[in-house]
Amino acid sequence: MLDLVIATTDDPIGPDQYRFVATDAWWLGSFGPHQHLTEHRLRTWVPSRPERDWLLDRELTGRQRWLTGSAEQARHEGFELHDVAPVGLFRAPFGEFHRDRDDTCVEPAQRRRGSWQVPTPEFLARLPRDPVELLGRLEADHPGRWNSAFSGAVDALRTCLVPADLRSALYRALTGLVGVHVQPGTTVLDGRSCRTLVHDAGRTRTELMVGAADGQFAGERDTLRADSRCGLPPGTLINETRVRTAVVDAMGEHPAS
């Protein structure tokens, strides 16, 4: 196919500004035999100069949907919401939030090598902009069964750091993958008109939602296509996110609207 055209643009960002990425997600979790969707709320400030500190504000809203078992059963067996994911404010250069930082002995900040899962500006700059070449690179970098070329591209897009020209090429490249089609028309997500690329293969159907106005990643939805090992039936929603971006002047600042 490789003929999909989605307009892609980037908001201009100055050297001292930040890209604000707001993610509201329902993610699958488990506690023993109990399966649940838990609502996560992430707000990330990415500096224009990545060697400066990034800020992540992560919280669990307390809302859950129990897919197997129940909240009462899980609590009786020792389930605690705070065990689902770390919450609070995290600050680190290059977005290395997983590293412990000690005020008396801070590890020197170094640029990450970069990958589809953790894309650096250098990694993104090296990727081809020709859709056919980009498709080949995606497939070469994802030869296994469990990490598909489609999921690798979504990993990068999910960061909202992929520049407009590369996003345009990626969307066209993805339509060349087996099991991928473009959903007819547009859908509305949080008041935004979106195009949807669907990867309908393997054990999971993934819907990648793209803002029709700017071609920015807007969200995703994963639904089981087959019975899961933990007893969830086909048609079960196991992941859903909605994402918005903006440019702000300061770390911790929220956009006006």
What is the pTM for the complete model shown?
0.91
Per-residue pLDDT of the chain (257 residues; tens, 9 = 90+): 566 778 899 999 999 999 999 999 999 998 888 899 999 999 999 999 999 999 999 999 999 999 998 888 888 888 888 888 999 999 999 998 864 444 333 444 556 679 999 999 999 999 999 999 999 999 999 987 667 999 999 999 999 999 999 999 999 999 999 999 999 989 999 889 999 999 998 889 999 999 999 999 999 999 999 887 777 999 999 999 999 999 999 999 999 86
Question: Rounded to an integer, what is the distance from CA 122 to the centroid of its chain?
Answer: 19
Residue with tokens 């897009």: 157
Task: Tell me the CB-side half-sphere exposure of residue 154, using CA atoms within 13 A.
Answer: 22
Provide the 10 A C-beta neighbour count for residue 157: 25
CB 56 within 8 A of CB 47: no
CA nearest to 66, candidates 55, 74, 58: 74
| Predicted confidence (pLDDT) per residue in 94-145, tens digit | 998 864 444 333 444 556 679 999 999 999 999 999 999 999 999 999 987 6
* Domains of the chain, residue spans: 18-98+113-248
pLDDT computed for residue 101 by the predictor: 47
CB 76 within 8 A of CB 94: no
**Packed helices 149-158 and 131-141: angle between N→C axes, nearest 10 degrees:** 100
